[in-house]
Amino acid sequence: MKTTTTRCPARLKGGLLAASVAMTLSAGTVFADGEVNLLTWEGYADDSFIKQFEEDSGCKVSATYVGSNDDFAPKLAAGGGVYDLITPSIDTTKIMIQAGFVEPVDVSKVPRWEEIYEKFRTSEGINHDGEVYGVPFSWGSIPFMYRVDKFDTPPTSLNQLWDSELDGRISLWDDKSALYVASRVIGNMDIYNLTDEQLEAAKAKLIEQKPLVRKYWATAGELVDLYAAGEVWISNTWGGYQSALLAEQDIEVQEFIPEEGAEGWMDSWMIVKDTPNLDCAYQFINMAISEQGQCGMSNVNGYSSTNVVAAKNCMSEEQFTALHQDDVDYLDSLLLWTNLGPRLEAYTNTWNAVKAAN
């Protein structure tokens, strides 16, 4: 895939344009006293758009948040019927399908399905054996970010994450994607098909960096706190989200796409197999891809929306352009996450070995 050195825009602050179009409920009756339990990312169940959904649908929303895509399988494997909907990224959706954790989506119950960008509707990650298993919700990049007041010259390369002058001021996401970062620094750009030898090289590079790392961050809030306290000056980030949270604290940070490229992702709502709350699950999905959910998510997280019609209806022209809604092929310029298949265990074990190293 191509890489890009184009600067990734930070999120335009929530409130640019409030979503004013009523949400789309699923075909059928509004069910009172229902519930829907989410296993999802921070910001995807924000009160700014969830409270209205609860009032309109009668479905009470409960959310449990993950810090990594690696969290989904263990939580679902624990069983107990705890969750109804999940939002794994495109590198994890196939794992959910093949493990039997999720069931097909009846797109006839999703009236605005055809409004979603075709690129996402037809993605291999959510289509399996002729059935659809996910409703695309959001997409974006994993750029890097730095505190503007700490750099005389803006960083442009991943190599600066190994700069001894930044000792104790560096952070990386506590996720196997750290291997993708190290591999790009070494020059192994086929980051989703690394051989055992290349994984060992990435591990060695990360262990070399480890003394310089203040902390591997696990949640959005943790990274924000590290920046706010002045403990971290440079890191990778969930594009648009943490930078906006820091802006609310008047801490100036800048996101950037490094010379070695950035990863891309897409999250989808998936229905947990045999959920007893199917009616509320479909009502939630339909809200999520309506103006209410799409601009609700974009204003809170700073991520791009998957429903182009909804985005046009609820975003300003400035926000629509800044989030690449008019240029969905921007995703092709990123190293889009993909299912690691049988190599997943090797990647996971390698990352765990990095963290365990002295």
- Quote the domain boundaries for residue 202: 141-263+340-356
Residues 180, 196 within the same domain:
yes
Contact 296, 48 (CB under 8 A): yes
Residues 174, 246 within the same domain:
yes
H helices of the chain, where? 47-57, 72-77, 93-98, 118-121, 178-186, 196-209, 220-228, 241-247, 278-288, 291-301, 308-314, 317-322, 344-356
12 assigned to some structural domain = no
73 assigned to some structural domain = yes
The pLDDT value given to residue 12 = 34
Query: How many distinct helices (H) and strands (E) make up the chain?
Result: 13, 15
- 0.75 exceeded by the pTM? yes
The pLDDT value given to residue 329 = 85
The C-alpha angle with vertex 180 and arms to 174 and 186, in degrees rounded to 5, equals 125
Residues 96, 128 within the same domain:
yes
Axis-axis angle for helices 344-356, 196-209 (nearest 10): 30
Within a 10 A sphere around the Cβ of 39, how many other Cβ atoms?
A: 21
Low-confidence ranges of the chain (pLDDT < 50): 1-32
The pLDDT value given to residue 358 = 87
Identity of the amino acid at 116: I
The pLDDT value given to residue 238 = 94
Contact 344, 273 (CB under 8 A): no
51 assigned to some structural domain = yes
Backbone φ, ψ for residue 105 (5° rounding): -90, 130
259 assigned to some structural domain = yes
The pLDDT value given to residue 80 = 67
Contact 198, 188 (CB under 8 A): yes
CA gyration radius, the chain: 20
The pLDDT value given to residue 28 = 35
- Which 3 state secondary structure label does DSSP give 159? helix
Note the pLDDT tens digit of each residue in 159-178.
999 999 999 999 999 999 99
The pLDDT value given to residue 332 = 86
Residues 186, 171 within the same domain:
yes
Lookup: tokens for 326: 């008019």
Q: DSSP per residue over 186-217, as a string?
A: HT---TTS--HHHHHHHHHHHHHHGGGEEEEE
8 assigned to some structural domain = no
d(CA 34, CA 31): 6
Residues 196, 344 within the same domain:
yes
Comparing C-alpha atoms, which of 136, 80, 109 is closest to residue 274? 80
- CB proximity list for 280: less than 8 A, separation 6 or greater: 31, 34, 35, 36, 57, 59, 84
CATH number of the domain within which 101 lies: 3.40.190.10
Structural domains of the chain, count: 2
18 assigned to some structural domain = no
Residues 197, 248 within the same domain:
yes
Residues 273, 254 within the same domain:
no
The pLDDT value given to residue 331 = 85
Residues 145, 202 within the same domain:
yes
The C-alpha angle with vertex 310 and arms to 304 and 316, in degrees rounded to 5, equals 70
d(CA 4, CA 14): 27
185 assigned to some structural domain = yes
Identity of the amino acid at 299: N
Contact 334, 4 (CB under 8 A): yes
10 assigned to some structural domain = no
The pLDDT value given to residue 334 = 92
Note the pLDDT tens digit of each residue in 19-49.
333 333 333 333 346 999 999 999 999 999 9
Residues 271, 182 within the same domain:
no
The pLDDT value given to residue 345 = 95
Residues 174, 273 within the same domain:
no
Within a 10 A sphere around the Cβ of 13, how many other Cβ atoms?
A: 12
Lookup: tokens for 253: 């940070």
d(CA 200, CA 180): 12
Residues 190, 292 within the same domain:
no
Residues 346, 215 within the same domain:
yes
